[in-house]
Amino acid sequence: MLVAQVREIVAKKLETLDGVVALKEEQHRVAPYLFTAGDDLSTLVLEPRYPLALVVHEILKRRPDVRIGVVTRGCQERALVELANWKQLSLDQVEIIGFPCSQEQAEACRCEMPYPTEIVAGERAQGVVDQVVAEFRASKTREERLAFWQRQLGKCIKCYGCRSICPLCFCEKCAMEQETWVTRGKLPLPFPTFHLIKAIHTAGAGKCVGCHACEDACPADIPLSILYSLLRQDLKETFGYEAGAQHSGNPPVLLLKEQMAK
């Protein structure tokens, strides 16, 4: 069984690492946890999918002295690689213990690479080509699409969940909190500014890895992944850039900044 094999490998890794981030299940509650040497690994689980790269980053920000592992799917490995590309952490401090997503999961996430670069157990599922944007455009006229987004984004309760859960949202001064764009304490939100800031700063900047953590965290069920899929597609077509696909990749935004400075 996949989880049993992962647990064995984590036990071995704990001989040399300061800890391993993974999901822990206790009395039907599942939450991220840092397993350390001597911990009972029978509580380590692989489900549900979770933005563990966020947890790794939070830990490394405060403990630059440790070296930790993380039991992760493809998207979270890509999130960690992209965080390193943006110089937010050092991959020297992280050891990926990868496992593949199931075929069902790959289809639910419309994921082209539902596995990390290396897996310790299990079998890779078939990648899925993300057709949602093409399907969306084909099924609605331009006016219908505008009405759709007005309705969907109008449901927003300004919880900042999409921002808070995103592994790639690391800015200390977040644009979504700047008075210039977003008036404090006011609802409904400016359409489409609020959501486009998030979309452009993550997906548009080549940071979004398509992990769907934002959509999972949205209490208003806004289909954020459709919006972000569109921008990720644009990034790929225009700049040939995919978040987390390469180490020391040059995020297009940073490249433009360099060019402007010249």
Contact residues for other proteins (CB under 8 A)? 18-19, 21, 24, 28-34, 36, 48, 50, 55, 58-59, 62-63, 65-66, 68, 157-161, 164-165, 216-219
Nearest to 42 by CA among 4, 99, 2, 71: 4
**Least Å from the CB of residue 135 to other proteins:** 26
Dihedral sign, Cα of residue 112, residue 99, residue 117, residue 214: positive
32 vs 127 by CB, closer to other proteins: 32
68 vs 133 by CB, closer to other proteins: 68
8 vs 177 by CB, closer to other proteins: 177
**Least Å from the CB of residue 132 to other proteins:** 21
Query: 219 and 162 in contact (C-beta within 8 Å)?
Result: no
**Least Å from the CB of residue 139 to other proteins:** 27
CA distance 237 to 229: 12
CA distance 245 to 201: 18
Residue with tokens 């933005």: 51
CA distance 115 to 232: 18
Provide the token pair at 65.
């002295």
Nearest to 252 by CA among 230, 237, 229, 235: 235
**Least Å from the CB of residue 14 to other proteins:** 12
**Least Å from the CB of residue 81 to other proteins:** 22
